[in-house]
């Protein structure tokens, strides 16, 4: 037990407690001020982050449009007299994606690459896309989708040796040039003698 000689007077204990309490209250106020400043900084950082995300999204969209959108629009204008409708219907069935080198490929909506009749990845070229969409010259417009795209697209049928025309598709780099090698002639004679 404490003796009276070592006991601290009550007034002195109260004074010490009041001093300690005042120091604690001041520390609390300082910490609250720091907390408010940190919260303000955090809110500012969140706002800046949102702005940066918006800028990144816009830049990504512009990049995507430059790499994919513009060539796709050019291709639509080459293939169809109604490019907006063509793009709408095409976009419902397919996606176009660029690889790291900027080469474009056509994917089905489930993300699988489209293949040509030989099982190779389809080139992003007007004639190849026309064949994909319309069924090509061998099965032209036999399915409902092929009928729709046959209606929407310009003729990009047979090409190559003996076809009567050649089509040099430059894909996204420019328009398709078509040269007629032979004029279509009516048969002479027509069975009359």
**pLDDT tens, position by position, 41-52:** 999 999 999 999
Tokens of 58: 């816009």
Question: Could you count the other beta carbons within 10 Å of the beta carbon of residue 22?
Answer: 10
57 part of a folded domain:
no
In a domain? residue 102: yes
Q: What is the pLDDT of the chain when averaged over all its residues?
A: 79
Residue 141 lies in a domain: yes
Q: What are φ and ψ of residue 51, in 5° steps?
A: -65, -45
Q: What is the pTM of this model?
A: 0.53
What's the maximum distance between 2 C-alpha atoms anywhere in the chain? 150
- Is 82 contained in some domain? yes
> Is 17 part of any domain?
no
Helices 70-79 and 83-93, packing angle to 10 deg: 110
Residue of 116, 118, 123, 104 lying closest to 169 (CA atoms)? 123
Residue 155: Cβ within 10 Å count? 12
Choose the weakest-confidence range: 70-74, 82-86, 101-105.
Answer: 101-105
How do residues 159-179 score in pLDDT, each as one tens digit?
444 444 444 444 443 334 343
Q: Is 144 exposed, middle or buried (0-12, 13-18, 19+ CB in 10 A)?
A: exposed
Token digits for 51?
Answer: 């702005």
Per the structure, how many domains does the chain have? 1
pLDDT at residue 189, rounded to an integer: 52
Domain range for 116 = 63-180
In a domain, 192, yes or no: no
**3-state DSSP assignment of residue 175:** coil
């Amino acid at each position: 037990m404490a003796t009276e000689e070592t006991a601290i007077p009550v007034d002195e204990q109260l004074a010490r407690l009041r001093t300690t309490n005042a120091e604690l209250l001041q520390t609390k106020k300082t910490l609250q001020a720091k907390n408010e400043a940190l919260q303000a900084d955090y809110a500012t950082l969140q706002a800046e982050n949102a702005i940066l995300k918006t800028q990144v999204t816009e830049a990504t969209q512009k990049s995507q449009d430059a790499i994919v959108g513009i060539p796709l629009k050019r291709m639509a204008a080459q293939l169809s007299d109604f490019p907006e409708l063509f793009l709408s219907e095409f976009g419902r069935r397919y996606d176009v994606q660029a690889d790291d080198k900027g080469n474009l490929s056509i994917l089905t909506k489930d993300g699988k690459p489209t293949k040509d009749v030989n099982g190779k990845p389809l080139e992003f070229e007007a004639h190849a896309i026309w064949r994909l969409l319309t069924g090509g010259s061998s099965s032209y417009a036999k399915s409902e989708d092929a009928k729709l795209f046959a209606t929407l697209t310009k003729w990009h049928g047979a090409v190559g040796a003996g076809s009567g025309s050649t089509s040099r598709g430059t894909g996204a780099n420019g328009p398709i040039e078509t040269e007629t090698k032979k004029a279509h002639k009516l048969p002479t004679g027509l069975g009359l003698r």
